Amino acid sequence: MAEVLLVVGVVVAMFVAYNIGGSTTGPAFGPAVGAKAISKPVAAGLMGLFFFVGAWTIGRNVVTKLGTELVVDPGVFTLESSIAVLFFIGIALLVGNIFGVPASTSMTAVGAIAGLGLAGNVLDLAVMGEIVIWWVVSPIVGFWVSLIIGRYFYARFNRMVAMERSTGPLLDVDRSGPIPIPRVHETTNRRELVGTITVVAIGCLMAFSSGTSNIANAVAPLVGSGELAMDPAIILGGIAVTIGAFTIARRTLDTMGSDITELPLTAAIVVASVSSALVVFLSMLGIPASFVIIATMSIVGLGWGRATRPVTVPEAVRKEKAPPVTIDALAADEPGEELPPIGEEDPDKIPQASDLFNPATTARVVLMQNVVPAIATLGAYLTFRFVPIFGI
């Protein structure tokens, strides 16, 4: 019976990892695929590779935190309870997909495990408090870092990475020798090459950061139960993520690739860099992080910083001018354009076409990112507290 339950647990864990691969490949490599820098199969392969590297290295910290440190008695992770926790994580993915909002699997995993710990009176409140504090602090840090970049460095960065596509292919393959050697095509310009390398590198960084944080969402309960060792758990999770990247992620790659014009490529690179760096940092501390919430606040901070360039700090403090936050504010700087000093930029050069972020949509994202984990916590608590089969 135990062997059957273990197989069921592994299948459920791989299903969760499969969905993680499907939902995170698009945000990571959508810009690169949309810019025709790489193909979908190459994006899926890179996703699987860098996710596994992140999981195998830093991701162990988060698996340990969720699987053994969040509860004072890891024995509470029986096979039955581990499967139930993974079930709640899977339900969170389903709810997020139904509402069109990517639910945070990290926050939901913590919520489900916290519900288990509360039901068994074994939740480590100090560890839980540390996680919650970082959940509050990290989006604020992302907002301010992005705001500073938007205000002082965005225009310069935009001129560096703005891609000017040439008519020919990016690379040629020299097959004259025994080993094919890729070479830069003669029509490829330097800006195009730098931009392409940058957007692909950012995708790899996002895949790596996803591995450092999200692997725990799929395997931590089974590792905490002692029924599955760390190394095979990470390998199985990595395989499932790769399968998801090659299959169901194709649709998210289409969506992210075609919708990237809603967020300029330069802005997408900045947001992805700031968010990924914060997620990797938190993973090194063993803290599971919500990439979506951090990225959302980074977008708001970046747009706000860019829109405040016509306003000096004293003017902003005195509220003499109300800075607009627009998509065009991020896209206004053209390559080669000289940037006037802070406070001297013409506000008319920043068109008021449309808001960078829709307040209603932003509120829905943030609300769902907190409601779904709360539902998982309450559902897990009630299940483990009142369903006799778990014996908590």
Spell out the residues 6+ positions from residue 364 whose beta carbon is closer than 8 angstroms to its own: 99, 101
User: What total of structural domains would you count in the chain?
Assistant: 1
DSSP structure class, residue 173: E
Mean pLDDT of the chain: 78
The CA distances from residue 7 to 55, 80, 215, in Å, are 22, 12, 18
Q: pTM here?
A: 0.80
Ranking 212-216, 310-314, 367-371, 378-382 by mean pLDDT, the lowest is 310-314
- For 249, the domain range is 2-390
Tens of pLDDT, residue by residue over 114-168, are 999 999 899 999 999 999 999 999 999 999 999 999 888 887 887 776 655 555 5
Tens of pLDDT, residue by residue over 38-59, are 888 999 999 999 999 999 999 9
- Select from 199, 215, 189, 19 the least CA-distant residue to 103: 19
Tens of pLDDT, residue by residue over 355-384, are 445 566 666 666 777 777 888 888 889 888
Spell out the residues 6+ positions from residue 99 whose beta carbon is closer than 8 angstroms to its own: 364, 368
Q: What whole-number distance in Å separates Cα of residue 306 and Cα of residue 318?
A: 19
| Residue, of 185 and 113, whose pLDDT is higher | 113
The per-residue pLDDT for 293 is: 80
DSSP structure class, residue 261: G
DSSP structure class, residue 179: S
Q: What whole-number distance in Å separates Cα of residue 254 and Cα of residue 233?
A: 30
CA-CA-CA-CA torsion sign (299, 301, 303, 306): negative
The CA distances from residue 306 to 65, 155, 345, 346, 389, in Å, are 38, 8, 11, 13, 56
